[in-house]
Amino acid sequence: MPSQKSILRLISFFAGFVWLAMLGSSYLYRFGLLHYATSDTYLFASKSLLLLFIVTIYFFYRFNIGRQESLNIIDLLWNVFVTGLIATVVSLASTLLLTVLKDQEHGRNPYFLDTLYQINVGLIITFLIATFMVWKRFILYQKSKWLVRTWNTFEYGLLGSAILFFIDFKIFTGIGLVISGLLAVLGIILSANLKWVAYLNYKQKWKSILLIILIALYIGYFYTILSNYGQDHGYTPIYSVLDVITVNELYFFAMIYSIFSVLVILFNLPTSSVFEQKLIEVINFQKLSQSRNSGQSEGQIFDILLESSVSVAVANAAWLDIMDAEGVCTKTLFFKLDERAKNDILKSIETKKKRGIQSQVPGRGSKENRFTAEVKHDIHKSIFIVPLFIQDQQIASMALLKDVKDGFSKEMIEIIRTFINQASISIENYRLMVEAIVNERYKEELKIAKRVQDSLIPKMLHTNEDLEISAFSKAAAEVGGDYFDTYKMADQRLALIVGDVSGKGTSAAFHMSQMKGVFQSLVQMNLSAREFIIKANNALSGSLDRTSFITATYINIDSKKKRIEFSRAGHCPSLYYSAKEKKVRYLEDNGLGLGILRDSQFNDFVDVNEIEYSSGDILFLYTDGITEAKNSKNEEFGYDRLKLFLEKHVFYSAEYIKDEVLKTLHEFCECSNLGDDVTALIVKVK
């Protein structure tokens, strides 16, 4: 498919060619006329070529104007105007040339006169068809089936009537008269379609009037040019273009539509401001409802509301009080007003002439705060105050002022009310969205906290040749308060800790990270279990909040001496399996949770114990999430079941015991979430 541009170029080239052929044939006819007798063949050829020219130009504009997607009225008029201007200038130049050469030999040369005539004909036809096609666009601006059908009849009628050109009677006789009359009537009927005028704004209307008047002047001028051509010079063209009904009709139609357009635009001028006002209302309403979707901030919505209301009410000044949750005004937006003027106006409201406006929504805005009133003020004479509500809570109050009494019509108030409703919905939506975003952010923060906490739990456990160690820790929520850690000291010594922070969730997680810091610092000082617990209590006493404490069991394993030294700081007693005795027991020594006594009194409660270990012994450290895990009958897993569990698993590896304890717990609870943080650390002597 060739592009539109290349088609246009091709058509215009063809039109030029047809025009030249037309000129050529008219020369030949003229030659015959001068030297022999009349030669009808050339006349016929010339006439045919003229019609071909008309059709070619028609197709040119059909492609050019007819195909444009958007309709820019002023641009189209401007195009026609420019085409007319060029044609006029050329036509005037040719007239001038004729006048200058009137008395000379060349000026009377019939070939020269023919040439000028054909130039005029070409340009004028081009202009007429351009006008015709633009008027067509205007008429079909808002199409209906009937309109399109009428128009097509008109257009085909115009083209068809051209045939009559070949039949040798004058247009104002017989069939020609009837046909041109019918076409003229159709043209007038079609000229009543002027809907496009309504879509022009005030300024565009003035522009259009000017352009159309000029176009009409061209049309008139061209008509006189063609009808009187060469009369002063005793020149008779080989045929008159005006004999073509089509050209005549084009003249008539173009003129009629121009006149109609100018008149309609003129009559529309006074009401155009009203129409524009309505358009603004629609646009404002759209803005408000769009702001709801695009999530504009409250401030922006208030701005749009004030702006829209002012323009709809044509208010001279306005303000908008924005209120907080307690109904106290926090900010005021002003339009052509300041704080002092606002206070003056509020004082000068004539309470006697206050007219409340009943709200349509019961409970929202009593008569008291939605009213119009008269104002005793130099400039402002009437006021309209309206509140904004979100779920029975007033969030704003808007006041509009006018410099005339009773300035607010019922219709205006209704429109502003719809604006207010729309704005309320927008703001409510905005608030809900903000809330959702905040919640989403908290979730994100918790995820981050979880990642950070996961990094505090050791991935690799320190061990030595004597021992196998396995551990797990699972928080019930995103973050938890359980803690375990290992550290390898010099001389085959190993430090282990399992801790549990009181409380749950975020606060527990913070204290847990403190515990990690304390452990990592103290453990490097190569302390005994007793010293470690005392120093840890000391360190934590300053930083734990009033009701928080941490329970912990601290273990020192010396693989050289094959000894385990341990101290229990209020933590649930560890389980110990002695391979020699073939017995599992709880290491129930005394001890106090860290942070319970925050002074040296604590030292009196520290208990340390030692065990000599041998191959096959198991140390099972855990947190109360295991013993307090509940099943559907609200029974706790408890100490006895835990002891029984270990007794059954003494011959397994630490890793296997770890997996089994989780499995056993889930089986007991018949659920995947245990409801509490769960930690276990298993040490098995090889």
Partner 1 sequence: MVEIKNTLNNDVYTISVIGEVDASSSIHLDESLSEATSKYKKIMVNCEQLEYISSAGLGVFMSYINDLEEKGIKLVIYGLSKKVHHVFQILGLDQLLKITEDEEGARGIIDGI
In the complex, the residues that contact partner 1 under the rule CB under 8 A are 500-505, 546-549, 551, 570-573, 590-593, 595-598, 605, 624, 636
Q: How crowded is residue 140: how many other Cβ atoms within 10 Å of its Cβ?
A: 18
State which residue, 182 or 446, has the beta carbon closest to partner 1: 446
State which residue, 508 or 564, has the beta carbon closest to partner 1: 508
Hey, is 49 helix, strand or coil? helix
From the centroid of its chain, how far is CA 29? Answer: 69
d(CA 201, CA 277): 10
State which residue, 547 or 672, has the beta carbon closest to partner 1: 547
d(CA 505, CA 495): 27
Q: Cα–Cα distances in Å, from 452 out to 341, 509, 684?
A: 57, 10, 30
Beta bridge partners of 320: 333, 398
State which residue, 428 or 628, has the beta carbon closest to partner 1: 628
State which residue, 334 or 586, has the beta carbon closest to partner 1: 586
Residue 676 has what DSSP assignment? S
Cβ at position 567, least distance to partner 1 in Å: 12
- Helix 410-456 to helix 505-522 angle (10° resolution) is 30
State which residue, 495 or 544, has the beta carbon closest to partner 1: 544
Hey, is 644 helix, strand or coil? helix
State which residue, 344 or 636, has the beta carbon closest to partner 1: 636
* Alpha-carbon torsion angle 122, 124, 125, 131, nearest 10: 140
Structural tokens at position 30:
């003229």
State which residue, 8 or 597, has the beta carbon closest to partner 1: 597
Name the residue with tokens 């209906």: 144
Cβ at position 595, least distance to partner 1 in Å: 8
d(CA 468, CA 462): 9
Structural tokens at position 302:
């208030």
- Helix 40-64 to helix 4-35 angle (10° resolution) is 160
State which residue, 58 or 549, has the beta carbon closest to partner 1: 549
Residue 654 has what DSSP assignment? H
Task: Answer for the pair 73, 208: CB distance below 8 angstroms, yes or no.
Answer: yes
Cβ at position 507, least distance to partner 1 in Å: 9
State which residue, 341 or 597, has the beta carbon closest to partner 1: 597
Task: Answer for the pair 316, 379: CB distance below 8 angstroms, yes or no.
Answer: yes
Q: Computed over its alpha carbons, how large is the radius of gyration of the chain?
A: 50
Task: Answer for the pair 412, 440: CB distance below 8 angstroms, yes or no.
Answer: no
State which residue, 230 or 573, has the beta carbon closest to partner 1: 573
Task: Write the DSSP string, 10-31.
Answer: HHHHHHHHHHHHHHHHHHHHHH
d(CA 7, CA 73): 24
d(CA 272, CA 362): 38
Query: Which residues lie below 8 Å from residue 379, measured CB to CB, with a gap of 6+?
Result: 316, 317, 403
Cβ at position 625, least distance to partner 1 in Å: 11
Structural tokens at position 94:
């040719």
d(CA 281, CA 419): 9
Residue 195 has what DSSP assignment? G
State which residue, 311 or 627, has the beta carbon closest to partner 1: 627
Cβ at position 550, least distance to partner 1 in Å: 9
State which residue, 176 or 625, has the beta carbon closest to partner 1: 625
d(CA 454, CA 436): 27
Structural tokens at position 349:
């409201």
d(CA 212, CA 227): 23
Hey, is 673 helix, strand or coil? coil
Task: Answer for the pair 641, 584: CB distance below 8 angstroms, yes or no.
Answer: no
State which residue, 318 or 515, has the beta carbon closest to partner 1: 515
Task: Answer for the pair 460, 342: CB distance below 8 angstroms, yes or no.
Answer: no
Cβ at position 624, least distance to partner 1 in Å: 8
Q: How crowded is residue 403: how many other Cβ atoms within 10 Å of its Cβ?
A: 15
Cβ at position 389, least distance to partner 1 in Å: 35
Cβ at position 333, least distance to partner 1 in Å: 43
Cβ at position 549, least distance to partner 1 in Å: 6
Q: Which amino acid is at 660?
A: E
State which residue, 399 or 592, has the beta carbon closest to partner 1: 592
Cβ at position 508, least distance to partner 1 in Å: 9
State which residue, 157 or 570, has the beta carbon closest to partner 1: 570
Cβ at position 649, least distance to partner 1 in Å: 24
Task: Write the DSSP string, 430-469.
Answer: HHHHHHHHHHHHHHHHHHHHHHHHHHHS-SS----TTEEE
Beta bridge partners of 208: none
Structural tokens at position 604:
């009196």
Q: Which amino acid is at 104?
A: Q
Name the residue with tokens 């879509």: 199
State which residue, 420 or 501, has the beta carbon closest to partner 1: 501
Query: Which residues lie below 8 Å from residue 323, measured CB to CB, with a gap of 6+?
Result: 329, 330, 394, 395, 396, 397
